[in-house]
Structure 1
Amino acid sequence: MSSDGKLRNIGPKSAAWLRQTGIHNQADLEAVGALAAFIRVKRAGFKPSLNLLYALEGAILGCHWQEIPEERRQELVLAAGEEVAKLPPPRGKRVPVAGPVITLRHDEDEGTMPEPDFGFDDPAAERD
């Protein structure tokens, strides 16, 4: 933690997200852990990128987030994916269910478009 009380690697927007989930300082972050803090932010409805997860880990370890070893990043990503999958869908949003795909074929007179039927008589056709 820097001398001004800010968490390392954490910008103002991410810091606001963390505060809204009960993480106010380095001690709070260390007590919760990077993964749980990231999941709290997701659960609160925010849309953090994986960079926040790396930044949180870096803040705990006292290093820049880009210094997190690739192996550890992959561990964090896998664990985050498992935890995010357990979260309920956001309130007020329905997850669309895909319907069946139907393919229509018009084998007769391929290459020509059928006349549209709009459900009413075409006055121009009556004049012919």
Structure 2
Amino acid sequence: MSEGNKLRNIGPKSAAWLRQTGIRTHEDLVAVGALAAFVRVKRAGFKPSLNLLYALEGAILGCHWQDVPDERRNELVAAAGEEVAKLPLPKGKRMPAAAPVKTVHLDGDDEGAMAEPDFGFDDPSSSRDD
């Protein structure tokens, strides 16, 4: 966004993110809406905070981002949570499947001690033929 198209509440970094998602003017932002613009930025791989969402709404309303009413903020946060949850995880960021959890209870005097692992072969130090 050039100086003539500078959006209220939007700094240079956020403006660059918006440009990369096709939002260059106030009219573009109004047409898309704050929520969709925020989701576009997230989908593009950037990591905006919720302050960007409030700033976008403030830019549309023509007010400071802190003056966006709490009720509207709550609506935006809830809607953003739903929309962001639909986005695929970035490549290489997928969580590995968790292995099953097995609880081991130890009996006897060795309370809290770890069981000796069984690696499926004999311990060579216990049966040396010297």
What TM-score bracket applies, with the shorter chain setting the length? 0.7 to 0.9
| 1:1-128 → structure 2 map (5 Å cutoff) | 4-111=4-111, 113=113, 116=116, 120-122=123-125
Q: Quickly say closer, same or farther: Cα 1:65–1:113, change in 2 above 3 A.
A: same
State how far apart, in whole Å, the 2-side matches of 1:41 and 1:112 are.
Answer: 50
String of CA shifts for 1:76-123, please: whole Å, max 9, x gaps: 011111111211221233232223221112112233746856864338
* Structure 1 residues 106 and 12: alpha-carbon distance in aligned structure 2, compared to 1, 3 A threshold: same
**Displacement of 1:25:** 1.4
SS in 2 for 1:63: coil
Contiguous gaps of at least 5 residues in structure 1: none
Aligned length: 125
Deviates more, 1:84-93 or 1:37-46: 84-93
CA distance in 2, matches of 1:25, 1:12: 14
Unaligned runs of 5+ in 2: none
Task: State the AA in 2 paired with 1:21.
Answer: T
2:35–2:76: 8 Å Cα contact kept in structure 1? yes
114 and 5 in structure 1: CA distance in 2 versus 1, 3 angstrom threshold: closer
Aligned to 1:48, what secondary structure does the other structure show?
coil
Classify the secondary structure of the residue corresponding to 2:37. helix
Give the percent of matched residue pairs that are identical in Structure 1 and Structure 2: 68
Residue type of the alignment partner of 1:101 = V
The whole-number CA distance in structure 2 between the counterparts of 1:54 and 1:69 is 10
Residue range with higher mean Cα deviation, 95-104 or 49-58: 95-104
Question: What's the TM-score once normalised by structure 1's chain length?
Answer: 0.83
Secondary structure at the residue paired with 1:122?
A: helix
